[in-house]
Amino acid sequence: MFLMSSKRALNGALLTISSKIIGKGIDFITLLVLARTLGPSEFGIVAIAMTLISIIDMITDFPVGAALICMPNISKSHLDTAFTINLARSFLIASVTAALSVPFAAIYGMPQLHDLVLALSLCSVARGMTSPGIALTVKNLDFRPTFVIETFGKAIGSIAAITCAYMGAGVWSIVVNTVVAPAASSSLSYIIAPCWPRLTFLQYKYFLSFSGWLSLSKAFAAFNWQYDRLLLGKFVDHAQFGRYTMANDIAALPAQSLILPTVTPMMSTFAKSTGNRPILTQQYERCLRAVSMVGVPIFFGLSVAADPLVRALLGEKWLSVVPFLQIIAIEPIFYLLTQPFPALAAALGKTKILFNLSFVEFMLKLPVIAIGAWQFGAEGVILSRLLCSFILMIITMYCLKSMIGLSPFTQLRQCAIPLMAGAAMYCAVGLLGGTIAGVFVNIYVTTAVVVSVGAMAYLLALLIAGYNIKSLVAVFR
């Protein structure tokens, strides 16, 4: 039974990752097309508007999906309550956004933010209307419905946005993509996983008991994740802010498409092994090895090859993004080394720890990033983020030790070889990158050669260290 569920979890993880890769691939293509037609200033304006929406969205987030996944037996009333909570949350988001849109636009001195904020709030409302039947398929480790609706939504949103961009819609092209994609996904969810709920709060006590600390932690996480943007928008001009957000979005793409999708399969698997601590510890170690082996070369590669990548993908007018991307791409590695922790904490029902970590992060970032933005602008914010992420990584490792007894040294040992191989790759590309650029005239050929050299250097370093690459597919075995 354990092997069967582990295999299904692995298949689910692979399908979920495939879904995110395709979805983020579509997002990336859309981003490239829009970047060719719009400039940093337009991206900066929309990014400021999206900051408010993201904070409201996450503060009001109530993780009913996670609660359903961890529930032993799901009844119809549980599904009805989950839908009702999401629906109520959608109306709350719309109301709060409408109330804050005018003062928000006044604070930043941009009247156009009012309409942008109101339009962007529809994306949160659309996501809240998704069929609760999707949670049943995920609980049963069937991720095919999720794959279909997410891919379909991304494709429709991309087509709509690109069409609007070439029709001269300007910044509204970005808004169209942000809103249409979740609306299309939610509509399809009722066909793929039909569930016609009724409005009720009958089972709200269960969701409150499960999601209370998790919701509070996400409220702080919302501020933590968007605080830099919220603050920086007041200290730099629109173009500089647009370059900062572009670098941030590019660096976040690999994590969103390859790393974050593994959280739900991890949580499902951890939840089935909570009664067996040795197996749970082994699963955590394997997950840590797998995500580090995949993630480390990607983020090191983004950093060291930022120049040719930006030239090839975004064009010469975005070259000022390169210095930002070179540093920002390093930050996700600190999160990578504790990536399975939130899934484990949720599976063990210790969501208060997630709240405590979010609160610590909030108290840490509040002064550090403010000082960085005030004194050094975007560069100060980036360096402040690196410092905060490193400190939080250490704290999280000690939290894991208190939870399952895995020491920080043991955790780092799982990632040691990928980190050393990543450093070797960084050095190889750094030393040979200039030579390669001088040999090839075409920027696309140069980029392909640089990426290939980095990949070969990383794999060679892994093999020299005796690392078993096949262990990647054994993450849930």
Give the residue among 401, 426, 408 at the shortest CA–CA distance from 344.
401
What is the predicted pLDDT for the residue at 439? 67
Residue listed under structure tokens 């933010």: 113
Three-state SS string over 106-162 comes to HHHCCCCHHHHHHHHHHHHHHHHCCCCHHHHHHHCCCCHHHHHHHHHHHHHHHHHHH
Q: What is the pLDDT of residue 303?
A: 94
| 299-315 b/e (C-beta count within 10 Å ≥ 16 → b) | bbbbbbbbbbbbbbbbe
Q: State the pLDDT at residue 7.
A: 56
The list of the chain residues with pLDDT below 50 reads: 1-5, 472-476
| Contact (Cβ atoms closer than 8 angstroms) between residue 191 and residue 133 | no
Distance CA 360, CA 342 (A): 15
Among 222, 223, 231, 228, CA closest to 247: 228
Tell me which residue of 374, 20, 70, 39 sits closest to 232, measured CA to CA: 374
pLDDT of residue 53: 76
Is residue 87 within 8 A of residue 128, CB to CB? The reply is yes
Cα separation of 385 and 379, whole Å? 10
In angstroms, the CA 288 to CA 277 distance is: 16
Look at residue 440 in the predicted model and tell me its pLDDT: 65
Counted residue by residue, the chain has a size of 477
Residue 350's pLDDT is 83
Residue 195, phi-psi category: left (phi > 0), alpha (psi -120 to 50), beta (remainder): beta
Tokens of 202: 């009958």
Task: Annotate 91-117 with b (16+ C-beta within 10 A) or e (fewer).
Answer: ebbbeebeebbeebbeebebeebbebb
* CA atoms of 20 and 29, how far apart (whole Å): 14
Owner of token pair 């899934």: 343
Neighbours of 237 (CB within 10 A): 11
- CA 140 to CA 193: how far, in whole Å? 13
Phi first, then psi, for residue 236 (nearest 5°) are -130, 165
Name the pTM for this structure.
Answer: 0.75
pLDDT of residue 212: 60
